[in-house]
Every structure is written in structure tokens, then in C-alpha cells.
Amino acid sequence: MKPEINIALMNAAQEILTRFSPLIEDEYEQSRLNSWGALILISAIKFNQSYSSLVKENNNIINWLTKTKQIYSKELLREIDQIQVEEGLEQSVLDEQNQLLRAILVKAHKEVDSRDDIDVKRDCLKLLREMHSHRKVSDLIGLLKPADS
């Protein structure tokens, strides 16, 4: 992960909010620019969190797949066994690994769904919901609502 991106986002937000926004006389346009500045600031803050979230998510998927390994088909077992876990990966490589793990998890979910084991199904759905919640943008919705509502 490159800290320069985080710093650049913080600087851009600071410039927008403190330097350019006060120069705009139209209140509506100033409000729009402030919203963009706030979104950039949140992006800078969330940038570091996204890396640790990916690491955690990848580990959760690997742990769950390993824990439930005995119930999968031979084809899926081969894919699971090919997973290489490495520490300190760059964000782009970590994201690629995450996409691979998600694809394997979807296949595992299909196999789990055809079984009668309620606990394994529940655990799989819990993991899928957790992964989905990492992709939400609900924390930005508050910024987009009008101030008087």
C-alpha cells in the first residue's frame, strides 16, 4: 500500500474545504464542493481500513474453507489446496486474491447448499453477509442527505 495516495487524498480534501470552497459565492455550489471534499476526506480515512478489511476477509474465507474442507468435491478441494497465503501483499495483489477466494467461496456455497447440514449453511451465509457488509457505502449516505431532514 502506498501512503502517498492517502496523503494526496487528505491534501486534496483540505484544499477543497479550506481554500476553494470559501471562494465560491453561490451557496448551492459551495455546498456541493464541500460534499465532494468530505467524500474525499472519508476516502482518505477509509483507505487504510480497506487493506486491513481485505486481509481479515481473506483470512476468514480461508479459515472457513479449511474448517469445512471435508465436505467438498474433489474439484473444489483442488482449488482450495492451490490457495497461497502470503503476508504483506500489496493492495492490488490482495484484492486479486480476494476475488479468487470469493469465487471459490461461491462454489463452496453451492455445494454446501445441496447438503442437509444447517450449521454449515448458516456459517456460510454469515460469512457471505459479512463480506457483503464490507462493500456497503451506508456510511456515506448520511453525507448525501439534506441537512434539514
Total domain count, the chain: 1
Whether the Cβ atoms of residue 48 and residue 3 lie closer than 8 Å to each other: no
pLDDT at 87 over 50: yes
**Amino acid sitting at position 141:** I
What confidence tier does 98 reach under pLDDT thresholds 50, 70, 90?
confident
The span from the CA of 31 to the CA of 147, in Å, is: 11
pLDDT for position 30: 92
149 belongs to a structural domain: no
User: How many CA within 13 A on the CB side of residue 4?
Assistant: 1
Instruction: Give the range of the structural domain holding residue 77, as residue numbers without chain letter.
Output: 3-144
83 belongs to a structural domain: yes
DSSP letters, 76-95, are: HHHHHHT----SS--HHHHH
Residue with cell 494526496: 8
128 belongs to a structural domain: yes
Least confident window among 25-29, 106-110, 138-142:
138-142
Name residues whose C-beta falls within 8 Å of residue 94's C-beta, 6 or more positions apart in sequence.
51, 54, 55, 58
